[in-house]
Structure 1
Amino acid sequence: MSEAPIDSALKFDPSRAGEYDRQSRIALAGYDACHELTACMLSSTLGSGAPAQILVAGVGTGQEILSIAPFEPLWHFTAVDPAAPMMEVAKTRLAEANLTERTTLHLGYVEDLPEDARFDAATLIGVLHHLPGDAAKKKILSSLASRLKPGGAFVLAGNCFSYQSHPRLLKAWRQRWIMQGASAEAADAKLAKILAGADPPHSEEAIAELLDEAGFEPPTRFFASLFWGAWLTRKVQ
């Protein structure tokens, strides 16, 4: 979950990598459900039981692969991430799940992959809101589109909406941290860190426009939780 420019990737240091899975499940109510539904959406789109090559951009701690792989045993995963601490966690978790032989790990960026590489599907989960500005967002989406086969499936998930534009959701997000045991002061600090370090697309319409410019079909949303959304689309034939 950390495919990002160098300055953004540096946020995912060993300390953050070590606590990422626990913190993500607090920050995103429905974290596991989102990943499970991603597996369902991809399987229903590609067809269950057939071999497929899946590109996982910003693999983070490997949760996408851990969720999808047991569901589709013939799929192979190429996992890309520029943050070495996150990749080390993913490597360990994938080895523990006996998924090493089904996964190729690349420390770096999507554009570092061979230009002729082509995948049946790709995921970008929890990444886009870490990329500052539309240019960086367009770049990674275009890089992913260029490495998908025509009609290839793509799952995009992450925060959308300007945080300040939805104060009620922001207050509910703060209460989510308190519900999970954080003090009011700690919850305020969490939100302040999020507000200072993320730049989500400002609407679902903005998501659709970014995808359209990158060469994808109009997306279908299949999951939502406060600021978070998940969409399935396909590369234009």
Structure 2
Amino acid sequence: MSASSNAAQKFDPARANEYQAQSRIALAGYDACHELSACMLTATLGAGSAARVLVLGAGGGAQEIVTAGRLEPNWRFTAVDPSAPMMDIARANLEQKGLAARTDIHLGYVDDLAPDQIFDAATLIGVLHHQPGEEAKRQLLRSVASRLRPGAPLILAGNRYAYTSQPLLLAAWGERWRMQGAMAEEVQAKLGKILEGADPPASEEVVAELLADAGFEQPTWFFSSLFWGACLAKRATTT
């Protein structure tokens, strides 16, 4: 079973149903991150442009599509996610928001897409830190790069520190849950779960190295919230 398959199994029906509410607690600034991601793409591609955007890990609320689709009415999206329960939630939300007609749904992985599908931009939000080990992360980024035209932007967002390397941030993350009403036992359970459940890159420098290895230019960081960071990197125009 591949690393991506193992990551997909985390998002069973129970976790899918709680995803949107819990994500907004775990990531302070969840909506702001998605809004700024859309703004960064528009600033790169141009307001009013016509673009095809690849959205990896779109399951859940498809917030990337909802936010960017509201800003740019001429963009079309291809939503990719291997979790059926998460994609069901995304599909329902896109239909409710009137974006289903502008979105192609693909249940599976980026490597399953037709070879001739090339995109003007891509987003990879909350996905990379679920890939165990640097090689799995590198391979995913290479697969994304192969789907982008030269110079196309990628929004990459996720946790970008080894959790145990930042004890103050980890403690603050626990207090964030307590602020939202979690009891002490629940906070400890969530801290244990995050330590076991993901494998983020060790630093922003490692993220930049992974992107460079996959064929992207130096990233521009534009959002930070405790462990979480978001950047934009363009696919290199030369190899």
In structure 2, what is the Cα distance between the partners aligned to 1:135 and 1:216? 16
- 1:71 is displaced (CA, Å) by 0.3
Partner residue of 2:12?
13
1:79 aligns with 2:79: yes
- 1:161 is displaced (CA, Å) by 0.7
Partner residue of 1:154?
154
Alpha carbon RMSD of aligned pairs, Å?
A: 0.7
How high is the TM-score relative to the length of structure 2?
Answer: 0.97
How many residue pairs get aligned? The number is: 234
Q: Deviations over 1:17-45 (max 9, x none)?
A: 11100000000000000000001000000
Question: Structure 2: which 5+ runs fail to align?
Answer: none
- 1:5 is displaced (CA, Å) by 1.1
In structure 1, what is the Cα distance between the partners aligned to 2:115 and 2:205? 30
Secondary structure of the corresponding residue to residue 70 of structure 2: coil
Secondary structure of the corresponding residue to residue 25 of structure 1: helix
Secondary structure of the corresponding residue to residue 200 of structure 1: coil
Partner residue of 2:51?
52
Partner residue of 2:182?
182
Taking every aligned residue pair, what percent have the same amino acid on both sides? Answer: 61
In structure 2, what is the Cα distance between the partners aligned to 1:205 and 1:85? 34
Question: Structure 1: which 5+ runs fail to align?
Answer: none
- 1:8 is displaced (CA, Å) by 1.3
1:124 aligns with 2:139: no
- 1:6 is displaced (CA, Å) by 1.1
Q: Deviations over 1:86-138 (max 9, x none)?
A: 00000000000111110000000001011221100000000011110011101
How high is the TM-score relative to the length of structure 1?
Answer: 0.98
Partner residue of 2:202?
202
Q: Is the 8 A contact 2:33 2:230 kept in 1?
A: yes
In structure 1, what is the Cα distance between the partners aligned to 2:217 and 2:167? 31
Q: Is the 8 A contact 2:163 2:195 kept in 1?
A: yes
Secondary structure of the corresponding residue to residue 231 of structure 2: strand
In structure 2, what is the Cα distance between the partners aligned to 1:115 and 1:42? 24
